Amino acid sequence: MKIIKHVSRVTRILGLLYISAIPLTANAWIPFPCENGTGQTTGYVNDTITYGFLVDTQPYNANFTSAISQVAAAYRNVGDSNFRVFITPRYGDTKVNISPNNGNTMPGGIEMGFEDFDALGLSSNAIAVAYVYRDGCEIIGTDVLFDKDRKWNAGKYQGGSAFSEGYSISQTALHEIGHSLGLKHQQGLLSAMNSIYPFGGGVGVNNDATPLVDDVRAIRVIYPSNTPVVRDLISSRYKANVGAVVRNNVKSTGTNSTQLAVRRGQTYNIEFSIENHGTTSANNVDVGVYLSNDKSISPSSDVFLGGFTANFGYGATMPGIASVTIPSGVALGNYYIGVYVDSSNNHSTERDENNNISLVTTSGVSYRYLVTN
């Protein structure tokens, strides 16, 4: 039997969170190899995986189980994969027993909970760790630990400093559950398996914690299925920039500086990422950038700033920049700027239509830009 330990971390500079710049790599979707060094992991032998979250470990609160259950559902909903994963509360234990098949009632001995990382001798930069137990190519159990001395929240990653808003339990669990399913660290593309918080960031208007395209491809390799063709295009407010995951911004075309307000008649570069999570290519996809009074971007009623049409092959990801001009006649005030993939609804049979729009942000998930003269 072999134990694989995956540590998620932060980089601290002068007390602030920064994202490490790591060289871009390819083929990140390949899962880690089998114990004997040949072949690749086959994952869990059972297609139903149950995680027990130890609710008696502190600083647990009732919202954490719900947040992690939503992450489990995001993995469960990966199209063309043959497994199901569930998170359930587990009572009576105040410590995660770091050992395989440790006698709990969870199949495979899988536990999640909070622990004292100092007592375990883990790095001061570590925020979470997954111990993955394998026998040959098969995963037989996982223990996922979150550092109890961090500030945690049950909400989604908001785009700010973890020192003010706390670490998102769902964003972190997305990464650690990926390890539990057989995925290794990916230090190059926009991926939930990047080892530096906030990993790959969220998608859609609500910034949901969701496996990204490399993660989805790996899941399909480990847990193959023969389901019908799946179509799913997503829009993200994040991008991989020389390996670092950063928030997208609105930048002045003249100075390339990040803007907190935009002026009528001026041109700006809008940054975003688009991914094809489907099992087939998507051609003639319209991508539009809109100015809206609210977060519900509507091509029929909101101000169209610009766009383009593109083809996205299977597993494609595109960090994009659209050059747009704020109309001189638009009313002054506060607006959201949204990037809408498949804005013409030419691909209406998508698995999830709620992840087609992302709101470009400089500071927080719901940032509104002030339009001035």
Residue 212 shares a structural domain with residue 73:
yes
Q: How many domains does the chain have?
A: 2
Residue 217 and residue 249 in one domain: no
Q: How many CB atoms lie within 10 A of CB 38?
A: 8
The C-alpha atoms of residue 250 and residue 246 are separated, in whole angstroms, by 13
Residues 100 and 211 in one domain: yes
In angstroms, the first-to-last Cα distance of the chain is 66
Choose among 347, 331, 338, 61: nearest CA to 231. 347
Count of positions (residues) in the chain: 373
Q: How many CB atoms lie within 10 A of CB 346?
A: 12
What phi and psi, each to the nearest 5 degrees, are found at residue 178? -60, -45
The CATH number linked to 257 is 2.60.40.10
Alpha carbon of 168 to those of 186, 187, 197: distances in Å?
20, 20, 9
CA 317 centroid distance within chain:
14
How does residue 303 score in pLDDT terms, banded at 50, 70 and 90?
Answer: very high
If you write DSSP's letter for every residue of 216-274 in order, what string do you get? HHHHHHHSB--PPP---EEEESEEEETTEEEE--EEETTT--B-SEEETT-EEEEEEEE
- Inter-axis angle of helices 169-181 and 213-222, to 10 degrees? 30
28 within some domain: no
Measure the CA–CA gap between 68 and 51, rounded to whole angstroms.
Answer: 10
Q: Token digits for 276?
A: 């094809």
CATH code where residue 135 lies = 3.40.390.10
**Domain hosting residue 118, numbered range:** 2-21+39-222
Evaluate whether 3 touches 131 at the Cβ level (below 8 Å). Answer: yes
367 part of a folded domain: yes
**89: which 2 tokens?**
């509360």
Task: State whether 263 and 360 are in the same domain.
Answer: yes
Angle between helix 169-181 and helix 62-76 axes, rounded to 10 deg: 50
What per-residue confidence (pLDDT) applies to 148? 93
Domain finish residue from 182, 197, 222? 222
Same domain, 83 and 187: yes
Q: Is 213 a member of any domain?
A: yes
Determine phi and psi for 361, rounding to 5 degrees: -140, 145
Q: Which among 40-44, 194-198, 254-258, 326-330 has the top mean pLDDT?
A: 326-330
Say if residue 108 is in the same domain as residue 249: no
Rounded Cα distance between 310 and 322, Å, is 13
User: CA-to-CA distance for 193 and 200, rounded, in angstroms?
Assistant: 7
Question: Do 10 and 106 fall within a single domain?
Answer: yes
- Is the pLDDT confidence value at 197 over 50? yes
In this predicted structure, which of 98-107, 176-185, 291-300, 335-344 has the lowest mean pLDDT? 98-107
- Averaged pLDDT score across all residues of the chain: 76
Better-predicted residue by pLDDT, 227 or 106: 227
Q: List CB contacts of 338: < 8 A, sequence separation 6 or more.
A: 205, 289, 290, 292, 295, 297, 302, 357, 358, 359, 360
Query: β-strands 317-325, 267-276: how paired?
Result: antiparallel
Shared domain check, 205 and 265: no
Q: Which amino acid does the sequence have at 86?
A: F
Residue 174's pLDDT band, with cuts at 50, 70 and 90, is very high
List, for residues 27-65, the tens digit of each pLDDT value.
446 676 776 666 666 777 777 788 888 888 888 888 888
Within-domain flag for 29: no
- Are 176 and 302 in the same domain? no
